[in-house]
Amino acid sequence: MHLIRKLRPSDTELLIGHYLRLDSEDLQCRFAGYVSPERVSEYCRQIDWARTDAIGWFEEGELIAATELVRLDTGNQTETLTAELAVTVEKPFQDRGTGTELFRRILTVARNRGVTGIVMRCLLENRRMQTLAKKYDGKLLFLDGEVESEVRVARADGLSLLQEAMDDGFAIFGLIAEQWTSKKRNDRAA
């Protein structure tokens, strides 16, 4: 059974575990180069949760995919709010629509937080991220071994607010079902 839900600061260790299970190629794509396990842990422990929204995909209680949306502080007082996005999916769960579904959900969250554009930067070899950007009409700009894309985000409306509320509701229902199933298994084992 899978569960998709928003990540919280209390999920930091799960996020670290997820990143450290990525193969070396996917880890390099996520962090735009080699990073040590210590640097991954440090990065996750320093996430500014006041500016970050994250959604995780869980399989049997284990975080196997995540998306992070970090609102950028532009320092200007305009009505535009930009955010940077990253998506990671562990190898056995790639090519199943996992990243696409996480992107759809984080796009709804971005919309409801007033974000007007999502910037994605990736290495030239990160074809999955480029494909994801194109699915959502992102224009790709190739620069010195990197690719940058910006996806425009529509304004929030009643439907987007309802979609986020429904996604959150399904997550709560999934957590309850997961706990109930786990309890039933433990009762049978005892």
Per-residue pLDDT of the chain (190 residues; tens, 9 = 90+): 789 999 999 999 999 999 999 999 899 889 888 899 999 999 999 999 999 999 999 998 899 999 999 998 766 656 668 999 999 999 999 989 999 999 999 999 999 999 999 888 877 777 788 787 878 777 788 888 788 888 889 999 999 999 999 999 999 988 888 777 766 556 666 6
Q: What are phi and psi of 41, to 5 degrees?
A: -60, -45
- Residue 51 has a pLDDT of 93
- Residue 77 has a pLDDT of 56
- Is the distance from CB of 136 to CB of 129 less than 8 angstroms? no
- Residue 183 has a pLDDT of 62
Rounded alpha-carbon distances, angstroms, from residue 86 to 25, 27, 65, 189: 15, 12, 11, 40
- Residue 189 has a pLDDT of 66
pTM above 0.75, yes or no: yes
**Chain centroid, CA 188 distance in Å:** 36
The whole-angstrom separation of Cα 30 and Cα 155 is 28
b or e along 2-11 (b: 16 or more beta carbons within 10 Å of the residue's beta carbon)? ebbbbbeeeb
Across-strand partners of 150? 119, 139
The whole-angstrom separation of Cα 2 and Cα 64 is 10
How would you classify the pairing of strands 52-59 and 139-143? unpaired
- Residue 5 has a pLDDT of 96
The whole-angstrom separation of Cα 49 and Cα 11 is 11
